[in-house]
């Protein structure tokens, strides 16, 4: 079978079923039209409605984006401080902070909100967001240009007076009068939407219908989240019909948003393709193992045991024999090879796995090659080459056929979504450091988990578990308080 020897599928659909638009300059962003060629798993098909929404949104970004008359008018309005009735264009600025996985999920969430509400998405260029990806929208920019009038927007926090939550709490904005929403002239020109881990109950009113009707009349929103808030958007009644039509397969929301938005720039794409071609391309099967470690501890023998038990019990990797003698003839070796790519801040797990498959024969005769692109030791903030590597590794993980992850990591979530793969998630040990039994399980869907969902039911005005009413939203296996689409 030739396709096994040539892993780059020849019949790849470079536009992902119409998700991407043709006609971009190819030189400035090789990954945009090349990435499909590297994917064994062509993934889910986007719905025709999603495709039409994306095309309309691209037109909106062009019509209202930086450099247009509409954009200058909106900036003037922001400086004047007052909202106007029916503004020409409305905007959402997504603040980029924390790790790369967090930043990607935040931008994807803000984008979906922008599509649902007809706002222009502008991404805060800080923390390397302008250094990693190509422009997703043709003939315009998604990066917030320098000179934004709200000079301190990256410092906005739960205490910011202009946050939606604080304006509701301080009765600057009232929503309670029988569903009446304030006239645009009574509203400020901007509001800050705080959906971070410390969001208050009022901040989380963002996920309520009445509050969305108010927010609709505010020209500028600035949003901070480090989470994948999309499951929360599925709880807002007004968005439900649109979301249902855009995403008939609800477990593929980030899969499509991620493949649409995040194209590594040429530098990162060089890191991805050189690594892929050197270490992964020739293997019959590629297995990605994402080991997210925190703190200074260089290794944990229990976690290594969990990785080997999980991969061997689930038949992802072969067992090794006690003997060190070769037991199989070397015939057709290449056709039986597996390439394992470990991503981790530390090198120890990779070294142990590599030694294990070097020093022992496998029970099946399969050849197992183990690789790790980098070991950065700890998470660096604001370091360019570090972020380039992290971005390349997330993307490389997304090109593997099977994923094993340590769970609760946005780094892994992005990889699984881009890949279109349900990962094997290693359970957190509950009994001290003992390896859990079973060591891992298949995730219910490839969607990221929303770690800090609202716990407030807008209609009942009290706490309620949304998984009780909504069949396609479940708690996450790796974070039981979180919510995910299935
Ligand atoms: P999360 O913290 O696991 O949810 O993932 P994030 O991506 O948001 O933040 C973790 C950050 O630590 C990454 O963005 C990288 O900067 C770094 N990091 C963690 N694991 C790895 C890894 O396996 N490889 C590389 N290169 N960086 C990593």
Mutate to test the pocket of ligand 1, among 392, 411, 418 (most ligand atoms within 8 A of CB): 411
Please tell me the residue having the least CA distance from ligand 1 atom 8.
99
pLDDT: which is higher, 462 or 27: 27
**Domain 266-485, second-level architecture:** 3-Layer(aba) Sandwich (3.40)
Tell me the CA–centroid distance for residue 411 and ligand 1, in Å.
6
What average pLDDT does the chain have?
92
Domain coordinates in residue numbering, the chain: 43-261, 266-485
CA neighbours closer than 13 Å in the CB half-sphere of residue 169: 15
**Amino acid 75: pLDDT:** 97
**Amino acid 417: pLDDT:** 98
Answer for the pair 222, 101: CB distance below 8 angstroms, yes or no: no
Tell me the CA–centroid distance for residue 294 and ligand 1, in Å.
10
Mutate to test the pocket of ligand 1, among 105, 133, 379, 452 (most ligand atoms within 8 A of CB): 379
**Amino acid 332: pLDDT:** 55
Q: How confident is the model over 378-416, as pLDDT tens digits? A: 988 888 899 999 999 999 999 999 999 999 999 999 999
Would the CB of 406 count as within 6 Å of ligand 1?
A: no
Atom number, ligand 1, closest to the C-alpha of residue 102: 8
Checking if the pLDDT of 158 tops 80, the result is: yes
Tell me the CA–centroid distance for residue 390 and ligand 1, in Å.
6
C-alpha 6/C-alpha 22 separation (Å) is 26
- How far from the centroid of its chain's Cα atoms is residue 33's Cα? 20
Would the CB of 102 count as within 6 Å of ligand 1?
A: yes
Ranking 74-78, 142-146, 274-278, 319-323 by mean pLDDT, the lowest is 319-323
Ranking 181-185, 241-245, 358-362 by mean pLDDT, the lowest is 181-185
Tell me the CA–centroid distance for residue 409 and ligand 1, in Å.
8
Full-model pTM: 0.95
Checking if the pLDDT of 5 tops 50, the result is: no
Q: What is the dihedral of CA 263, 268, 271, 275, to 10 degrees?
A: -20
Tell me the CA–centroid distance for residue 99 and ligand 1, in Å.
6
C-alpha 236/C-alpha 231 separation (Å) is 9
* Whether the predicted interface score ipTM is above 0.85: yes
Tell me the CA–centroid distance for residue 37 and ligand 1, in Å.
26
């Amino acid at each position: 079978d030739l396709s096994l020897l040539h892993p780059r599928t020849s019949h790849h659909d470079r536009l992902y079923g119409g998700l991407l638009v043709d006609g971009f300059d190819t030189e400035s962003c090789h990954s945009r039209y090349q990435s499909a060629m590297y994917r064994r798993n062509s993934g889910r098909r986007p719905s025709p409605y999603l495709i039409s929404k994306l095309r309309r949104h691209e037109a909106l970004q062009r019509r209202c984006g930086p450099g247009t008359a509409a954009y200058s008018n909106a900036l003037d309005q922001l400086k004047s401080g007052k909202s106007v009735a029916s503004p020409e264009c409305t905007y959402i600025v997504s603040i980029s902070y924390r790790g790369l996985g967090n930043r990607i999920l935040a931008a994807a969430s803000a984008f979906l909100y922008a599509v649902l509400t007809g706002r222009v998405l502008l991404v805060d260029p800080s923390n390397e967001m302008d250094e990693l990806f190509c422009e997703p929208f043709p003939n315009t920019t998604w990066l917030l240009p320098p000179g934004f009038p709200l000079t301190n927007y990256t410092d906005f926090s739960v205490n910011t007076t202009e946050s939606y939550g604080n304006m509701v709490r301080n009765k600057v904005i009232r929503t309670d009068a029988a569903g009446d929403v304030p006239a645009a002239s009574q509203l400020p020109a901007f509001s800050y939407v705080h959906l971070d881990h410390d969001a208050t109950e009022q901040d989380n009113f963002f996920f309520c219908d009445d509050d969305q009707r108010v927010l609709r009349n505010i020209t500028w929103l600035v949003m901070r989240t480090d989470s994948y808030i999309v499951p929360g958007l599925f709880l807002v009644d007004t968005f439900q019909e649109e979301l249902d039509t855009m995403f008939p397969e609800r477990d593929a929301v980030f899969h499509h948003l991620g493949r649409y938005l995040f194209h590594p720039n040429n530098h990162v794409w060089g890191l991805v393709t050189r690594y892929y071609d050197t270490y992964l391309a020739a293997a019959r099967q590629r297995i990605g193992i994402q080991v997210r470690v925190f703190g200074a501890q260089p290794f944990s023998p229990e976690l290594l045991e969990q990785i080997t038990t999980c991969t061997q019990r689930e038949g992802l990797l072969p067992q090794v024999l006690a003997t060190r003698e070769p037991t199989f003839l070397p015939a057709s070796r290449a056709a039986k090879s597996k390439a394992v790519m470990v991503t981790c801040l530390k090198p120890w797990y990779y070294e142990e796995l590599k030694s294990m498959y070097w020093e022992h024969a496998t029970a099946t005769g399969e050849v197992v090659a183990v690789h790790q692109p980098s070991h950065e030791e700890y998470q660096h903030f604001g370091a360019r080459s570090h972020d380039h590597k992290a971005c390349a590794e997330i993307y490389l993980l997304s090109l593997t056929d099977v994923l094993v992850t340590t769970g609760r990591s946005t780094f892994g979530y992005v990889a699984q979504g881009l890949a279109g793969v349900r990962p094997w998630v290693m359970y957190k040990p509950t009994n001290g450091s003992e390896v859990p039994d079973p060591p891992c399980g298949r995730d219910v869907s490839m969607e990221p988990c929303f770690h800090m969902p609202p716990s407030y039911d807008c209609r009942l005005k009290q706490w309620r578990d949304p998984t009780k009413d909504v069949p396609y939203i479940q708690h996450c296996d790796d974070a039981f308080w979180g919510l995910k689409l299935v």
